[in-house]
Amino acid sequence: MQVILIQDVNNLGGANELVTVKNGYGRNYLIPQKFAVEASPSNMKQLQEKIKHQAKKEAKLLAELNSVIAVLGNGPLKIGAKTGTSGKIFGSVTSVQVARAIKEQKGYEIDRRRITLPDDIKELGMYKASIDFGNGTETEVEFEVIGE
């Protein structure tokens, strides 16, 4: 029996996937639990439309992501920090401050958990942070720590 999975099922497949299962497993478990629907011609047509719609959505998201990456690559961010007389800053620069600087200077809100900083930043100077957008897309953004 062929069924179309509606949601991910462990050890079987992911959502919107066509799989072959035993008749009893499909009729007595997958379909009543709303994990799958029978692979009828109308359901197959709906699956094709879903896949086509999802591909368009992913292409649009990728284009938007590329524009964000291009904007982030234009010039370094400036992050102000209070410093002592020796040029060392009080505390350290965190991903929260980088996320706030991106929002204020570039106009994009990025979750602080997606930003990875090199070691502890405790001195003035130029640094690079890595931003992981998920689905394999990653970029680096330069920022400069300046004294206030």
Q: Which domains does the chain have, with CATH numbers?
A: 2-50 (3.40.5.10), 74-147 (3.10.430.100)
b/e 33-71 (16+ beta carbons within 10 angstroms → b): eebbbebeeebeeebeeeeeeeeeeeeeeeeeeeebbee
pLDDT confidence tier of residue 32, bands split at 50, 70 and 90: very high
Structure confidence at residue 45 (pLDDT): 94
- Mean pLDDT across the chain, nearest whole number? 89
Beta bridge partners, 65, equal none
Report yes or no: 132 and 68 within 8 Å, Cβ to Cβ: no
Summarised one tens digit per residue, pLDDT across range 48-91 is: 999 999 999 988 988 888 888 888 888 888 998 888 877 788 88
User: pLDDT tens digits for 69-80?
Assistant: 888 888 888 998
Q: Which amino acid is at 64?
A: E
Q: Looking at the predicted structure, is the pLDDT value of residue 2 above 90?
A: yes
pLDDT value at residue 137:
82
